[in-house]
Structure 1
Amino acid sequence: MKIIVDGDACPRSVLKICMEMGKKYNIPVWTVASFNHHIESDHHVVVGNSAQEADLKVVNLTGSKDIVVTQDWGLAAIILGKGALAVSPAGRVYLSQTIDFLLEEREIKSKVRRAGGRTKGPRKRTAADDKRFADKLEQIITANL
Structure 2
Amino acid sequence: MKIWIDADACPKPIKELLYRVAERKQIILTLVANRSLGHPTSMWIRSIQVGSGADVADQEIVRLLEVGDLVVTADIPLAAETITKGGHALDPRGIFFSEDNIRERLSVRNFMDDLRSNGVETGGPAAYSPKDKQKFANELDRFLTRQR
Task: Give the TM-score normalised by the residue count of structure 2.
Answer: 0.93
Shift, 1:20, TM fit: 1.1
Distance 1:127 1:107 in 2: 28
Distance 1:132 1:106 in 2: 22
C-alpha contact 2:89 2:97 (8 A) present in aligned 1: yes
SS, match of residue 89 in structure 2: strand
Shift, 1:120, TM fit: 2.5
2:96 corresponds in structure 1 to: 93
1:2 corresponds in structure 2 to: 2
Contiguous gaps of at least 5 residues in structure 1: none
Query: Which residue of the other structure, out of 37, 40, 63, is the alignment partner of 2:66?
Result: 63
Does the alignment pair 1:140 with 2:143? yes
Distance 1:19 1:30 in 2: 10
Shift, 1:129, TM fit: 1.2
1:130 corresponds in structure 2 to: 133
| Backbone CA RMSD of aligned residues | 1.1
Distance 1:101 1:58 in 2: 23
Distance 1:39 1:59 in 2: 22
Query: Which residue of the other structure, out of 56, 77, 82, is the alignment partner of 2:85?
Result: 82
Distance 2:146 2:59 in 1: 27
Task: Give the TM-score normalised by the residue count of structure 1.
Answer: 0.95
Shift, 1:81, TM fit: 0.7
Distance 1:78 1:68 in 2: 10
Distance 2:79 2:23 in 1: 24
